[in-house]
Amino acid sequence: MLKMVVFDDEYIVLEGLKRMIDWEKYGIELVGTAMNGYEAISLFINQKPDIVLTDIRMPGLDGLAVIEKILAEVPETVCIVFSGFNEVEYLKKAIKLGVMDYFEKPVTLSMVQEVMKRTIKKINEKKRLERLEADWEKNYHIRLEKATLDLLTLGEQGEWNWRNVFGNKSNKIVGITVLAMKDHVKLLDSYDCQIVYAYYGGTYFLVLFHFDNNNEEVIITHFLKQLDHQILGGLGSTYYQMKDASKSYREAFYAMEYGMFMGEKRLVKFKDIQRRTSVFEDFSKYKQAISAYLRVGDDKRLLEQVNLFIHKLEAQIKSREILENEILHLIYLCLEIVKEAEKDVCSREGFWAKYFPQQEIREIETWDKMVEWLHEQLNRMLGQIINIQQVSKQDAMEKACIFIDQFYNEAITLQDVADHVQITPTYFSSLFREKVGMTYIQYLTNKRIGKAKEMLIKGAKVMEVSEKVGYHSYRHFSEVFKRHTGNNPSEYKNIT
């Protein structure tokens, strides 16, 4: 059983990891925890664990310093780090130090489970390669596969071992091209090229070693013609120094992953999807338009701008990483609009407090699904905005009616009520009619005449009633009263 330790300065995180994960299911025994860097080093020395989970930020020695000391002491230790969403530079340093995996805080059960599955898979893969080393003398093809993998993954560091296994022919090699595939295929050999097949991390690699660089394109074309056009794969560039083999390897893998993401059913050449390190068009104008239409709840124009944004992204960006960043930036812009409209929506609803789009987007396998996901997020936010607007309008009109009911006997105007609910007079007039079913002046008049009736029935004098309900002209009061009741105030008083 593998031994594991956890380092984090938050007690709740340590307790959560102890209790919420069935470590034995993964063949792991949790042998200890520490809350600062110095305790972590001491615990590591005492326990010599196989796996270390550590936060990047800790008092005393931080997580990076702890990892550096651990890997210097026992290089084969598997290190995994926790990181915050904005700790990109720390994470880059951790990766350079040799961490095997990471996940972002706040830590969730699903995140830990996913990382542990990957970690166990990598450990098993590592053990498989170690077994290959143990059988070094037994099978030349196995040794050649291992040496070729070293060449691909380590570059110059793996070249000597590869030449030793490959033999004297290694001096005749003038170029190397790598193909990456999800399915295993067997190609016919060529006299001016030797193929080495390798399998690593769920991917099949076909490594073409060229003996004649003058026929490079002819050789590659010869092999590509043998591939079924429905087989998905990636083709790296040809390099002419063995120390650059890792470049072709990474390009082939990237091209294959990109093809899977974009839903391709063919061999994808890296040179055709060369990763762009900068965005040639500023997408901010599309994001601003989307944000503006979301803010006002205009679903039709919002959809038009989203489709335009997606079209521009698909046409110009050939990197999943950049696609994710552009879409996430838009999501967070729109999320701020929703929060602003809701006035602390996180504490009221609870949904957005548990919303981690950066985690969700990483689990999406294809571009079509990513587009579908983007539409779902924006539709959810649009629905929230529309609901907020409806509630806000209704609240404003209820507030206006309460204000009128309280001050009906004073010389209040439409401007006064509009100012009270912080809406422009023109919009207030239209919204009042829509929500209340009558104009502002009709509502005010009905209120005043209703109160006048009550006072007249109780025997109040007409002049006194006129002033108390907001009419300082007796004549005007009488005209309005008769228009609404059919009788002047004196007649109404006598009739009742």
pLDDT of residue 345: 39
What local confidence, expressed as pLDDT, does residue 46 receive? 93
| DSSP reduced 3-state for 233 | strand
Instruction: Classify burial at 68, counting beta carbons within 10 Å of its beta carbon; exposed 0-12, middle 13-18, buried 19 or more.
Output: middle
Name the range with the highest mean pLDDT among 29-33, 166-170, 195-199, 337-341: 29-33
Range of the domain at 488: 392-495
How far does Cα 255 stand from its chain's mean position?
Answer: 22
pLDDT (tens digit per residue) in 380-417: 888 888 777 776 677 778 888 888 888 888 888 888 88
The model's pTM: 0.40
Q: Is 92 exposed, middle or buried (0-12, 13-18, 19+ CB in 10 A)?
A: exposed
Same domain, 165 and 241: yes
Task: Give yes or no: residues 355 and 386 share one domain.
Answer: yes
Would you list the DSSP string of 141-197?
A: HHHHHHHHHHHHHHGGGGHHHHHHHH-GGGGG--EEEEEEESS------BTTEEEEE
Q: Please report the pLDDT score of residue 344 as a whole number.
A: 42
% the chain with pLDDT above 90 = 12
Long-range pairs for 59-63: beta carbons < 8 A, 24 or more residues apart: 59/9, 59/35, 60/36, 61/36, 61/37, 62/37, 63/7, 63/37, 63/90, 63/94
Confidence class of residue 49 from pLDDT cuts 50, 70 and 90?
Answer: very high
Residue 455 inside a domain? The answer is yes
Domain end point (choices 326, 360, 390) = 390
**Average pLDDT of span 409-430:** 82
CATH number at residue 410: 1.10.10.60
Q: Note whether residue 278 is domain-resident.
A: no
Torsion of CA 51, 56, 58, 61, to 10 degrees: 80
Would the pLDDT of 346 be above 70?
no
Instruction: Pick 190 or 303 by higher pLDDT.
Output: 303
Does residue 369 fall inside a structural domain? yes
> Residue 428 is encoded by which pair of tokens?
């207030």
Distances (CA, A) of 130 to 105, 138, 143, 240: 33, 14, 11, 30
Query: What pLDDT is attached to residue 110?
Result: 86
Q: Are residues 358 and 408 in the same domain?
A: no
Q: Is 279 among the domain residues? A: no
Q: Given the structure tokens 């839903």, which residue do they identify? A: 263
Name the least confident of 61-70, 253-262, 446-455. Answer: 253-262
CATH of residue 212: 3.30.70
Per-residue tokens: 118: 């990957």
Work out the number of other CB atoms within 10 angstroms of the CB of residue 194.
Answer: 17
pLDDT, average across residues 67-80: 91
Percent above pLDDT 70 for the chain:
89
The mean per-residue pLDDT over the stretch 278-304 comes to 78
Regarding whether 414 and 366 lie in a shared domain, the answer is: no
| Averaged pLDDT for residues 238-242 | 90
Is 34 a domain residue? yes
Q: Calculate mean pLDDT across residues 442-457.
A: 87
Rounded distance between C-alpha atoms, residue 375 and residue 362, angstroms: 16
Predicted pLDDT of residue 1: 86
pLDDT of residue 351: 52
Mean pLDDT of the chain: 82
Contact status, residue 26 vs residue 124, Cβ threshold 8 Å: no
Q: Of 105, 132, 159, which residue constitutes the final position of a domain?
A: 132
pLDDT at 278: 44
- Helix, strand, coil percentages (3-state) for the chain, rounded to 5, are 65, 10, 25
Q: Which of 241, 272, 303 is the last residue of a domain?
A: 272
In the chain, the number of structural domains is: 4
CA distance 107 to 84: 10
C-alpha torsion angle, residues 373, 375, 377, 380 (rounded to 10) = -140
Q: What is the pLDDT of residue 52?
A: 93
pLDDT of residue 214: 62
pLDDT given for residue 29 in this prediction: 92
The answer on 467 and 402 residing in a single domain is yes
Whether the per-residue pLDDT at 280 is higher than 50: the answer is no
Angle, alpha carbons 487-493-494 (nearest 5°): 95
φ/ψ of 266, rounded to 5, equals -160, 175
* Least confident among 2-16, 85-99, 277-291, 411-425: 277-291
Q: In which band, very low, low, confident or very high, does the pLDDT at 355 lie, cut at 50, 70 and 90?
A: confident
- In the predicted structure, residue 297 carries a pLDDT above the cut 90: no
